[in-house]
A and B are shown apart, each in its own frame.
Chain A
Amino acid sequence: MVVDPLILIGAVAVGGVLIGGGVHFIPVGGAPAAIATATGVGTGTAMLAAGGGMTGLITAAAATTSPLWLVILAGGAGSALMLGITMLVGNWVYIWGVGCVPSSAKVTHDPITKYEQSKFVTPGTEGHGIPTVCFVSGIIGGLLSGFGGALAYYFLYYSLIATPGYAIPSGAYVSLGAATLAGTFALGLFFVNSVIASYNIGGTIEGFHDPKFARLPRAALACIIASAIVGALGVLLVQGGSF
């Protein structure tokens, strides 16, 4: 399969928008969440999104020789799995360690389960723990960012193996050099887009029910521009652009 340079740039740009959009779904509370005064996981946006993306990249790369849809689905599954387990264990600490009820002050009722939230929120806080709506939102965010990373990985890998330097050696089914370079490139794309998205979020977000979620189009525009530039640099990786 020969990949056109414009398709590579387009795939990286779409992948970047998926990563940037996915970060907006992930419930992160930053330092306030670490002391249980805000809803979400108690860490930074970029850190959690990149950590999820890395697991997605590992499962996507395990499917390298498979068709595109399988690589993308494997990436999304790995990323969502990492975020799901991290949020679950985070909630263990919130419930049995800190001793608080998962709740959000941004909404009166959980949009998915219809549980009442306001009675369970400690006065003076924005909520604590990860209620169901934030959890589902985080899973969606993991899926989207995993899809984006796998998309960029797949197209760069197939661009690289068409060149003599990274061609698949005889007797093997995968080019190790191409997989490594494409994986490193996808890793970089994750950090670029998750940092752009975390500037847009500005500290904390709870998921798709948060009012800050309306800022998504602005981040998508920024991510598509940044990722197109990153994609153009990616074209240079493939033998200086000589396809």
Chain B
Amino acid sequence: MVKEHLGPIAGHGFIVTFTIIGVSYLMTLPIQGFAHPFPLPMLAVLWGITIGAIGSSTGDIHYGGEREYQQYPFGGGIPVRIHGDITRKAELGARNSLDAVNFCAKYGGPVTGFCFGAIVFFSFWSTVVGGIFGSVTGTILPGNSDSNTALAVGTTILFIIIILIIIINNRMEVFARNKYGPYLK
């Protein structure tokens, strides 16, 4: 435990903290589109809570999902009545903890990272892309009608992205329904 687990845990923790501080530092720079009124530690706390929520919501699924991935056919979740089977046949059977790591490292981890990256990327669009249409507010820029136009355009862009995400999700649902079909008895 001490020799094999603490190193990777500390290493991953360091990478997360370092990159979040990096993003927060960029946000505080006096550049058009950035220049956020929150100081660096506050931004790091807010992004840290956000990445915790993302890690929990997408990460939990793949570490729970890896067990049912291999044993049961595609197209169905796992019924509650055979939960005992999963636990019983877990690390002693064909699957072991290496399989869990393989699934998480090859698929779960990258999509979790993509999720946080996409949120950071698109949340900047309200000020960076909106900033094309006028100077944006921040610690160095005034809150005049010009910057209000920019922010209004930027916020509208965010709402358009949200509607696109709803449509993409619906297409995915239709894909899964057609591909996997109804649950087979």
Contact = CB atoms under 8 A, between A and B. Distances in A.
A70 B155 contact: yes
Interface stretch (B4-12, B94-102, B122-130): B122-130
A51 B83 CA distance: 30
A69 B112 CA distance: 33
B173 A132 contact: yes
A220 interface: no
A35 B77 CA distance: 8
B126 A55 contact: no
A67 interface: yes
Contacts of A101: 75-76, 173, 176-177, 180
B75 A34 contact: no
Interface string B79-110: 11111000000000000000000010001100
Given A101-B75, A176-B139, A183-B38, A62 B173 contact: no
Contact of A130 (B66, B147, B169): B169
Interface in B124-145: 126-127, 136-143
B31 interface: no
B37 interface: yes
Interface residues of B, number: 82
- Name the interface size band of chain A: 35 or more
Pick the most buried of B67, B83, B138, B141: most chain A CB atoms within 10 A of its CB: B138
Interface stretch (A10-18, A41-49, A205-213): A41-49
B79 A90 contact: no
A93 B68 CA distance: 12
Contacts of A97: 61-62, 65-66, 69, 103, 107-108
Interface in B37-78: 37-39, 42-43, 45-47, 49-50, 52-54, 56-58, 60-69, 74-78
B108 to A, nearest CB: 6
A81 B160 CA distance: 10
A36 B151 contact: no
Contacts of A87: 169
Contacts of B118: 85, 89
Contacts, number: 285
A132 B76 contact: no
A61 B109 CA distance: 30
B166 interface: yes
Contacts of B151: 62-63, 66, 70, 74
Contacts of B56: 42-44, 47-48
Interface string B13-50: 00000000000000000000000111100110111011
Nearest to A46: B53
B183 to A, nearest CB: 5
A200 B34 CA distance: 39
B155 A73 contact: yes
B47 A172 contact: no
Interface in A60-94: 61-67, 70, 73-74, 77-78, 80-82, 84-94
Interface string A130-153: 111001100100000000000000
A74 B155 contact: yes
B128 to A, nearest CB: 10
Contacts of A73: 152, 155
9 contacts: A31-B64, A48-B53, A58-B38, A82-B53, A89-B115, A92-B111, A101-B76, A102-B173, A124-B79
- Pairs A-B, 3 closest by C-beta atoms: A51-B53, A65-B143, A124-B79
